[in-house]
């Protein structure tokens, strides 16, 4: 009952404010009139009665205010008036308002955007039930993770007891034919248990069955929602439909839910059972089932800990069973590497993301410091105003509340604008994101990020509001009002100066980070890739279709069809006007192909049978070295004479020549690449080392073979074409030339070598761009802060400066005094910042290339830049101080 009354009466008074005001006024007036009447009854004149009533009752206005301010609804009225006042304050000081709101928006927006991007990768659980039970399992090669073979998977799946299910998966890029142009799909070949292991079932149709994951089993596929919508317009009748992939007919048996995300390969649109041939697996190590090119994951049984599983796998790796013979490259003698799925997908990008997150937190801190500084400066100018308000009866609480309202308003405005910045920032981040960034599709300004932004906003509001408020409330109000000459309150000035020192220090940390990354990038781009990337066009040509299949009656027939197609295509390309040289290779440097595709074992004639090298195997056509501009150091390159009938020729890279044949001539020596049951390859030449994976990675051991002399014909070759004219203009003509040979073959990844060079180490440049942006923002904020403090101090010290000038200080002296003041703050900030930068630089080590995290050139450059900018920010207030006219200043006092 009474709660109801509280609400209804409150709302009524809120809705009918003037009526509530009038009622209160009427009631008080009636009370007063009755009192007057009572006095008149006692015989006083009207005038005297009124005076007596006033004496008796006191100030009726106060009474009315008291009556009117009763009730919960009046908290709103005060808030509204506080907000109104705060808004007027901001409007009347647009410079302050704009700088603060922009600073806050930048800080909040940037941190929200970065947090949104980092959250799904590092923090958010993966979108699978009990995702923490999913582990990835890797083979170990040279201490690092490497793919493993189907044979290894088969052994682990049968021997291990810790896992509910295990699965392998590998890239599968089929060409979809039957449409106007062949289309290249991103797919995965997987075990039947793949989706079951992830814990997600198709929304339409059914999952794979174990009976489908057998050699020559039924050809079935499951589609992603994305592909289903794009190609089949979400037609539910797709189930059971036949589609042509690489010339074979596949049946669609299922469609994954829209929400399903394949974090193992986010662009995957189609899945099929891998269907490995296990009939010869215990006898024939040359079969595809023993190639180390699979990734593996498993889901732990409930109640089994990760440590138990790791221990069990290590035990299995260490004790081979005779039932499961292992070849040299799958011996597991270095053990297995086991990781949680979440850590696994975040592993490569984690240092970069943490660096960016750290940088953005620095920016946010600088932004906060700057706003606090601005608010302090404002409150210093408003001492008079607060004194007047206090004298008029405003309580300290009321003033503090007003100040907090003002800063909350600022923070809210900054937060709103910051969310706009965040939305734009997330878009920019997705556009900028390096290829291979996991879970890009999951990056949105999500509720988590919203909550984060709001938490940050309110925190900043309260913190920034409280600091000046504490200053005000700590001071005695009256002396303020009486004081005519402005002097600076010591503690206050100290706080602001400390804040500027903080800003300089933080900006230095960011700038050193940006400088180190910039320097690394320059070093990296100066690295010789081992070939000449100028005027080089590249494209990948795939062969797919029945005509390339080997028939049981004619083994090797498919391979020769493939080789003939590529030879004809190359001839056609060479005839295109504007083409100077053209060649093809199975492995294109810097193309971002995973290393397992191109890495093979190599054994020289005199090597220990258990030894050998992991080398990049290039199957190349004639003229490859000349077209790429790879220097031939001795011997010759692969040419037209290396055919299927001539002796098997091989080139080795310089690094391989130096380690295997130090001081000797390798020409004429023999080796095996890949299977060891074939004739020896004879070394005919040594070529310079080429960067294959990225400019930063030194992995130059390589063997070049002729495409005519390899033990299988690669189904995909990259064409490299050196041209005279514009690369982009020639590309269509070249594609048409290839299609003139066979127009069913997809041509993909058309790119100039310069573009590939730019993409290599995209992660590093992604971090660099963000650090540069944040570093510049920090520099600008620090300059604004420095300027604000010095300008304020010049205003506060006008009188002192006037006295100094009157006593004979020259303009130069005064200029130097203010500059010295600012530079002292800068120097202190730089000193503190240097300590921070050393720590931060250490955290960046994994992203640096070719320089130490203590690179003195970078430090020197950053300190010089920061000092110059700070000097500029000091100069204006100093110059203004030097122009203080002593007579005017002193008279004004």
Partner 1 sequence: MSNPNTDVIQGTLDMLILKTLSLEPLHGFGIARRVEQISRGVFKVNPGSLLTALQRLERAGWLDSEWRQTTNARRAKFYRLTRAGKKQLDLETADWSRRASAIARLLRQEG
The residues binding partner 1 (CB under 8 A) are: 1-2, 5-6, 9, 23, 26-28, 30-31, 33-35, 37-38, 57-58, 62-63, 66-67, 70-71
Rank residues 27 and 893 by Cβ distance to partner 1 and give the closer one. 27
- Taking CA atoms, 183 is separated from 175, 491, 730, 744, 830, in Å, by 5, 71, 22, 9, 57
Q: Considering the complex, what minimum distance in angstroms separates the CB of residue 54 from partner 1?
A: 12
Q: Considering the complex, what minimum distance in angstroms separates the CB of residue 113 from partner 1?
A: 48
DSSP label at residue 876 = H
Rank residues 71 and 199 by Cβ distance to partner 1 and give the closer one. 71
Q: Considering the complex, what minimum distance in angstroms separates the CB of residue 394 from partner 1?
A: 19
What is the rounded CA–CA span in Å between residue 764 and residue 814?
Answer: 47
Residues 850, 851, 857, 859, Cα dihedral to 10°: 140
Long-range contacts of 423-431 (CB under 8 A, 24+ apart): 424/109, 424/113, 425/109, 425/110, 425/112, 425/113, 425/114, 426/113, 426/116, 426/117, 428/113, 429/113, 429/114, 429/116, 429/117, 430/117
Q: Are the C-beta atoms of 438 and 266 separated by less than 8 Å?
A: yes
Rank residues 23 and 754 by Cβ distance to partner 1 and give the closer one. 23
Q: Considering the complex, what minimum distance in angstroms separates the CB of residue 39 from partner 1?
A: 12
Rank residues 30 and 852 by Cβ distance to partner 1 and give the closer one. 30
Structure tokens at 298: 């498993």
Q: Considering the complex, what minimum distance in angstroms separates the CB of residue 14 from partner 1?
A: 14
Rank residues 17 and 724 by Cβ distance to partner 1 and give the closer one. 17
| 610 burial type by CB count under 10 A (0-12 exposed, 13-18 middle, 19+ buried) | exposed
Rank residues 28 and 372 by Cβ distance to partner 1 and give the closer one. 28
The neighbour count for residue 2, using CB atoms within 10 Å, is 6
Q: Give Cα 791 distance to the centre of its chain.
A: 38
Q: Are the C-beta atoms of 98 and 414 separated by less than 8 Å?
A: no
Q: Residue 242: enclosing H or E segment and its boundaries? A: strand 242-245
311 has which bridge partners? none
Q: Are the C-beta atoms of 332 and 614 separated by less than 8 Å?
A: no
Rank residues 333 and 395 by Cβ distance to partner 1 and give the closer one. 395
Q: Considering the complex, what minimum distance in angstroms separates the CB of residue 823 from partner 1?
A: 60
Strands 134-141, 144-146: parallel, antiparallel or unpaired by DSSP? antiparallel
Strands 270-273, 220-223: parallel, antiparallel or unpaired by DSSP? antiparallel
Structure tokens at 203: 């929304």
Angle at 199 between CA 196 and CA 203, to 5 degrees: 85
Rank residues 24 and 336 by Cβ distance to partner 1 and give the closer one. 24
Q: Considering the complex, what minimum distance in angstroms separates the CB of residue 7 from partner 1?
A: 10
Rank residues 75 and 839 by Cβ distance to partner 1 and give the closer one. 75
Q: Considering the complex, what minimum distance in angstroms separates the CB of residue 63 from partner 1?
A: 4
Q: Considering the complex, what minimum distance in angstroms separates the CB of residue 52 from partner 1?
A: 14
Q: Considering the complex, what minimum distance in angstroms separates the CB of residue 72 from partner 1?
A: 9
CB-based contacts of 794, cutoff 8 Å, min separation 6: 801, 818, 877, 878, 880, 881
Q: Considering the complex, what minimum distance in angstroms separates the CB of residue 42 from partner 1?
A: 13
Q: Considering the complex, what minimum distance in angstroms separates the CB of residue 6 from partner 1?
A: 5
Rank residues 22 and 606 by Cβ distance to partner 1 and give the closer one. 22
Q: Considering the complex, what minimum distance in angstroms separates the CB of residue 48 from partner 1?
A: 17
Q: Considering the complex, what minimum distance in angstroms separates the CB of residue 31 from partner 1?
A: 5
CB-based contacts of 881, cutoff 8 Å, min separation 6: 794, 797, 801, 814, 815, 817, 818
DSSP label at residue 647 = P
Rank residues 75 and 868 by Cβ distance to partner 1 and give the closer one. 75
Q: Considering the complex, what minimum distance in angstroms separates the CB of residue 24 from partner 1?
A: 8
The neighbour count for residue 40, using CB atoms within 10 Å, is 16
Rounded to the nearest 5°, which phi and psi values hold at 404? -65, -40
Q: Which residue has the tokens 């209804």?
A: 8
Q: Considering the complex, what minimum distance in angstroms separates the CB of residue 395 from partner 1?
A: 17
Of 257, 265, 199, nearest in space to 223 by CA: 257
Rank residues 30 and 311 by Cβ distance to partner 1 and give the closer one. 30
| 636 burial type by CB count under 10 A (0-12 exposed, 13-18 middle, 19+ buried) | middle
DSSP label at residue 666 = -
- Taking CA atoms, 847 is separated from 292, 318, 517, in Å, by 28, 35, 7
Structure tokens at 685: 């030449």
| 773 burial type by CB count under 10 A (0-12 exposed, 13-18 middle, 19+ buried) | middle
Rank residues 58 and 808 by Cβ distance to partner 1 and give the closer one. 58
Structure tokens at 333: 């003698």
Q: Which residue has the tokens 């927006």?
A: 109
Structure tokens at 602: 């190599």
Q: Considering the complex, what minimum distance in angstroms separates the CB of residue 400 from partner 1?
A: 25
Rank residues 63 and 201 by Cβ distance to partner 1 and give the closer one. 63
Rank residues 63 and 428 by Cβ distance to partner 1 and give the closer one. 63
Helix, coil or strand: residue 622: coil
Rank residues 34 and 605 by Cβ distance to partner 1 and give the closer one. 34
Rank residues 63 and 831 by Cβ distance to partner 1 and give the closer one. 63
């Amino acid at each position: 009952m009474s709660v109801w009354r509280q609400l209804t009466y409150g709302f009524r008074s809120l809705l009918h404010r003037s009526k509530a005001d009038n009622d209160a006024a009427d009631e008080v007036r009636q009370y007063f009139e009755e009192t007057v009447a009572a006095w008149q009854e006692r015989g006083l004149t009207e005038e005297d009665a009124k005076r007596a009533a006033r004496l008796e009752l006191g100030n009726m206005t106060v009474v009315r205010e008291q009556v009117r301010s009763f009730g919960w609804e009046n908290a709103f009225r005060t808030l509204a008036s506080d907000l109104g006042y705060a808004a007027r304050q901001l409007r009347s000081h647009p410079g302050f308002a704009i700088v603060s709101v922009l600073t806050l928006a930048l800080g909040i927006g940037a941190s929200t955007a970065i947090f949104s991007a980092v959250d799904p990768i590092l923090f958010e659980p993966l979108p699978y039930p009990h995702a923490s039970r999913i582990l990835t399992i890797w083979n170990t090669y040279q201490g690092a993770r490497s793919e493993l073979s189907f044979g290894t998977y088969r052994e682990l799946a049968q021997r291990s007891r810790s896992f509910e299910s295990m699965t392998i998966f590998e890239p599968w890029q089929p060409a979809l034919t039957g449409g106007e142009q062949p289309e290249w799909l991103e797919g995965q070949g997987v075990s039947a248990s793949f989706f079951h292991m992830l814990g997600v079932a198709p929304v339409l149709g059914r999952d794979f069955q174990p009976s489908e994951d057998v050699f020559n089993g039924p050809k079935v596929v499951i589609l992603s929602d994305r592909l289903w919508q794009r190609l089949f317009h979400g037609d539910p009748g797709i189930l059971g439909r036949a589609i042509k992939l690489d010339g074979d007919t596949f049946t669609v048996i299922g469609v994954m839910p829209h929400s399903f995300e394949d974090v193992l390969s986010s662009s995957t649109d189609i899945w099929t059972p891998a269907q490995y041939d296990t009939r010869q697996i215990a006898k024939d190590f040359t079969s595809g089932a023993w190639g180390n090119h699979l990734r593996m994951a498993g889901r732990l049984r409930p109640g089994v800990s990760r440590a138990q599983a790791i221990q069990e796998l290590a035990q299995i790796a260490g004790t081979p069973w005779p039932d499961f013979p292992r070849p040299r490259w799958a011996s597991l003698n270095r053990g297995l590497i086991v990781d949680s799925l979440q850590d696994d997908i975040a592993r490569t990008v984690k240092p970069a993301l943490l660096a960016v997150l750290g940088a953005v937190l620095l920016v946010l801190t600088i932004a906060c410091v700057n706003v606090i500084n601005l608010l302090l400066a404002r409150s210093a100018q408003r001492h008079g105003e607060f004194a007047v308000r206090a004298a008029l009866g405003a309580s300290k609480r009321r003033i503090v509340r007003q100040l907090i309202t003002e800063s909350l308003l600022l923070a809210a405005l900054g937060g709103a604008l910051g969310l706009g910045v965040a939305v734009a920032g997330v878009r920019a981040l997705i556009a900028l994101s390096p290829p291979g960034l996991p879970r890009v599709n999951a990056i949105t300004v999500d509720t988590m990020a919203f909550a984060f932004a709001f938490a940050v906003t309110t925190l900043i509001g309260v913190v920034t509001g409280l600091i000046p408020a504490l200053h005000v409330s700590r001071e005695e109000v009256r002396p303020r009002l009486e004081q005519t000459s402005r002097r600076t309150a010591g503690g206050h000035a100290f706080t602001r100066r400390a804040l500027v020192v903080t800003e300089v220090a933080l900006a230095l940390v960011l700038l050193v980070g940006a400088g180190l990354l910039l320097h690394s990038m320059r070093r990296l781009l100066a690295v010789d890739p081992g070939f000449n990337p100028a005027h080089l066009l590249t494209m990948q040509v795939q062969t797919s279709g029945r005509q390339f299949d080997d028939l049981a009656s004619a083994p090797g027939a498919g391979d020769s069809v493939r080789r003939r197609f590529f030879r004809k295509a190359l001839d056609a390309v060479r005839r295109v006007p504007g083409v100077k040289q053209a060649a093809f290779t199975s492995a294109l440097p810097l193309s971002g192909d995973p290393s397992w595709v191109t890495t093979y074992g190599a054994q020289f004639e005199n090597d220990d049978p258990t030894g050998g090298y992991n080398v990049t195997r290039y199957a190349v056509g004639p003229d490859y070295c000349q077209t790429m501009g790879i220097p031939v150091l001795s011997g010759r390159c692969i040419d037209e004479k290396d055919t299927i009938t001539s002796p098997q020729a091989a080139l080795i890279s310089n690094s391989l020549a130096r380690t295997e044949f130090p001081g000797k001539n390798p020409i004429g020596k023999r080796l095996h690449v890949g299977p060891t049951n074939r004739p020896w390859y004879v070394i005919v030449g040594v070529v310079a080392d080429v960067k294959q994976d990225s400019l930063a990675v030194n992995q130059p051991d390589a063997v070049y073979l002729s495409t005519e002399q390899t033990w299988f014909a690669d189904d995909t070759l990259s064409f490299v074409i050196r041209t005279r004219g514009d690369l982009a203009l020639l590309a269509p003509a070249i594609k048409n030339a290839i299609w003139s040979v066979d127009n069913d073959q997809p041509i993909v990844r058309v790119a100039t070598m310069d573009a590939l060079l730019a993409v290599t180490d995209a992660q590093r440049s992604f971090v660099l761009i963000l650090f540069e942006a944040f570093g510049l923002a920090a520099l600008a904020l620090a300059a604004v802060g420095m300027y604000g403090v010095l300008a304020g101090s010049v205003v506060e010290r006008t009188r002192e400066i006037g006295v100094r000038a009157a006593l004979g200080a020259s303009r130069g002296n005064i200029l130097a005094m203010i500059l010295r003041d600012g530079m002292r703050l800068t120097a202190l900030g730089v000193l503190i910042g240097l300590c921070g930068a050393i720590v931060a630089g250490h955290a960046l080590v994994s992203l640096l290339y070719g320089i130490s995290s203590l690179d003195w050139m970078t430090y020197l450059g950053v300190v010089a830049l920061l000092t110059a900018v700070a000097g500029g920010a000091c100069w204006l207030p100093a110059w203004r101080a030097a122009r203080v006219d002593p007579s005017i200043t002193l008279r004004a006092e």
